[in-house]
Amino acid sequence: MTFSLVLASLLTGLFTLVACAASAADRPSIVLIYADDLGYGDISCNGGAVATPNIDRLAREGLRFTDAHSSAATCTPSRYALLTGRYAFRQQGTSILPGDASLIISSGAPTLASVLRDAGYATGVVGKWHLGLGAGQIDWNGDVRPGPREIGFDYHYLMPATGDRVPCVYVEQGRVVGAEPADPIAVSYEERIDRGPSGRERPDLLKQRLSHGHDQSIVNGVSRIGWMTGGQKARWIDEDMADVLTGKATDFVKQHAREPFFLSFATHDVHVPRLPHARFAGGSGRGPRGDVILQLDWCVGEVLKTLDQQGLTSSTLVIFASDNGPVLDDGYEDESAQLLEDHDPNGDYRAGKYSLFEGGTRTPMLARWPGKIAAGEKTDALFGQVDLPATLASLAGAAAPAGAFEDSRDELDTLLGQDSVGRPHLVHEGRKLALRTGPWKYLPPGSTRDSLTPGPPEQIDAPGRLFDLSRDPAEKTDLAQEHPARVEEMIRLLSSIRSSPDGGR
């Protein structure tokens, strides 16, 4: 080899090294803060009447999305889509799960977490899970697996299902925190295994009365869905939950400050039961729902403060979003409807959680990455949380795994604020499926719930309803009769997306 050839190959090698180092340095750590049941209008930067200064800081320093959506109008299917990059309707058993359900994502299946882990990220999930644990009968006194570790998270500290479902315990690395062999935990959604009084029988024992459902075991003075016995020392204190989970989330950030990490911090707030810590109780003047919005904002502030203190703010992409739209009375008498005053949980949109109307899935979304995402901007691009796996994989320089993430589009340009259009279409999942294409929204015939205004579900006749959201964000004027061809076309597109992810490409 001549001297010049040797020099050339040395230089090439050096260049490759520098290029790799640069791309590694360009990869931010990622913190996803995933709120529960938080509506588009629940944050003050979207017009909410309860002040959320920490969440608003993300908007001031980053990008505010006006047309970003959870994949479904309830928790489990939204979280499934967010992790797998697949719409949940493609898999049976992805509707709201009981607290003893099996893990609904197969061990070893590629997920947002596993792809980032394989790309060299330390991965952790703290907070609400609600994707099932174990495979069959769970032994809450032993090793609870499969769980997050089998689908890509190195670390977990979880509430297994929801705050209103048993078991009311935390699970850390496959073990119930505080479990004692002498006081074994048992859980049942079929049999009344708890000999103590139920919430229905003894409302006088409750801190907050139930309004519907939630009439089984009483834990920490709150009546829950499901029966549970044992584990007295392991049971959570609802009022401390925001502190406990935020502590675990910020510990994870501190422990991984010197390497790329992905943290999914899924808060319990603002789901029911709404039992804020005494620091926040009464603070909003709008009852417990307003108070837990304050508490959620505090949780966000603690994470941002930790990033600041660790010198990680500019090297971390922070995404803030919610798993579905807002709900007022979701089973407890917490005066959420009576004390709303001028606060509009869904902004200008119609209905909320459980609904195919916009309020079901159009949720807050903020993205901050200083220097890479312009500060203080807003985007009207259509964005779906189902896109996060392909988008964040692309950000991390990882290839989307073959045969996976099939509904997930690489929308990195949209996330960074460089594409103002976003997705060409998006499915919304409620009991049925609705479809967006550009400004058009198609809702199928059937019934859809409105969890914000009392009354029976809304009945939609064939062939369904069509709205032009650019003129009619509140979905009041049905244009289906005026635009039959568009309705036909959207029904066709929805059915082809339903039968195959490629149908919509």
Q: Write out the catalytic residue numbers.
A: 75, 130
Q: Binding residue for Ca ion (CB under 5 A) from 29, 35, 37, 423?
A: 37
Stretch touching ligand NG6 by CB under 6 A, among 27-35, 209-217, 282-290, 390-398 = 209-217
In the complex, residue closest to ligand NG6 by CB: 213
Q: What are the tokens at 232?
A: 């007295």
Residue closer to Ca ion by CB (options 29, 451) is 451
Residues between 33 and 92 with contacts to ligand NG6, criterion CB under 6 A: 36-37, 74-75
Residues between 58 and 117 with contacts to Ca ion, criterion CB under 5 A: 75
Say whether residue 225 binds ligand NG6 (CB under 6 A): yes
Per-residue interface string for the shown chain with ligand NG6, residues 316-345, x marking contact by CB under 6 A: --------x-----xx--------------
Spatial contact of 86 and 109, defined as CB atoms under 8 Å apart: no
| SS3 assignment, position 496 | helix
Helical H segments across 191-285, by residue range: 241-255
Residue closer to ligand NG6 by CB (options 213, 370) is 213
What is the nearest approach in angstroms of Ca ion to the Cβ of residue 288? 16
In terms of Cα–Cα distance, which of 69, 70, 76, 38 is closest to 55?
38
d(CA 171, CA 180): 13
Q: What are the tokens at 397?
A: 């320089």
Residue closer to ligand NG6 by CB (options 234, 270) is 270
In terms of Cα–Cα distance, which of 298, 162, 328, 178 is closest to 238?
162
Residues between 352 and 381 with contacts to ligand NG6, criterion CB under 6 A: none
Say whether residue 36 binds Ca ion (CB under 5 A): yes
Binds 235: which of Ca ion, ligand NG6, none (CB < 5-8 Å by kind): none
Residue closer to Ca ion by CB (options 61, 323) is 323
User: Up-side HSE of residue 439: CA atoms within 13 Å toward CB?
Assistant: 10
Binds 186: which of Ca ion, ligand NG6, none (CB < 5-8 Å by kind): none
Q: Binding residue for ligand NG6 (CB under 6 A) from 60, 200, 209, 212?
A: 212
Residue closer to ligand NG6 by CB (options 328, 469) is 328
Strands 171-172 and 316-322: unpaired
d(CA 296, CA 51): 11
d(CA 324, CA 254): 29
Binding residues for ligand NG6, rule CB under 6 A, total 17
Stretch touching ligand NG6 by CB under 6 A, among 39-47, 211-219, 238-246, 412-420 = 211-219
Residues 6+ away with beta carbon under 8 Å from 268: 36, 127, 128, 159, 163, 241, 242, 245
Strands 377-384 and 425-429: unpaired
Q: Binding residue for Ca ion (CB under 5 A) from 194, 323, 330, 344?
A: 323
> How far is residue 97 from each of residues 228, 285, 327, 502, measured CA to CA in Å?
16, 33, 18, 28
Binds 302: which of ligand NG6, Ca ion, none (CB < 5-8 Å by kind): none
Binds 494: which of Ca ion, ligand NG6, none (CB < 5-8 Å by kind): none
Q: Binding residue for ligand NG6 (CB under 6 A) from 268, 271, 436, 465?
A: 271
Binds 96: which of ligand NG6, Ca ion, none (CB < 5-8 Å by kind): ligand NG6
DSSP letter at 393 equals H
Residues 6+ away with beta carbon under 8 Å from 279: 295, 298
Q: Which residue type does 49 have?
A: A
What is the nearest approach in angstroms of Ca ion to the Cβ of residue 207? 22
Spatial contact of 293 and 269, defined as CB atoms under 8 Å apart: yes
Say if residue 137 is exposed, middle or buried (CB neighbours under 10 Å; 0-12, 13-18, 19+): exposed
User: Up-side HSE of residue 1: CA atoms within 13 Å toward CB?
Assistant: 8
What is the nearest approach in angstroms of Ca ion to the Cβ of residue 271? 6
Q: With DSSP H G I counted as helix, E B as strand and the rest as coil, what are the percentages for the chain, rounded to 5?
A: 30, 20, 50
Spatial contact of 383 and 65, defined as CB atoms under 8 Å apart: yes
Binds 130: which of ligand NG6, Ca ion, none (CB < 5-8 Å by kind): ligand NG6
Longest dimension (CA), the chain: 91
Residue closer to ligand NG6 by CB (options 331, 464) is 331
Residue closer to Ca ion by CB (options 37, 67) is 37
Binds 267: which of Ca ion, ligand NG6, none (CB < 5-8 Å by kind): none
Residue closer to Ca ion by CB (options 63, 73) is 73
* Interacting residues toward Ca ion by CB under 5 A: 36-37, 75, 323-324
* Interacting residues toward ligand NG6 by CB under 6 A: 36-37, 74-75, 96, 130, 162, 164, 212-214, 225, 271-272, 324, 330-331
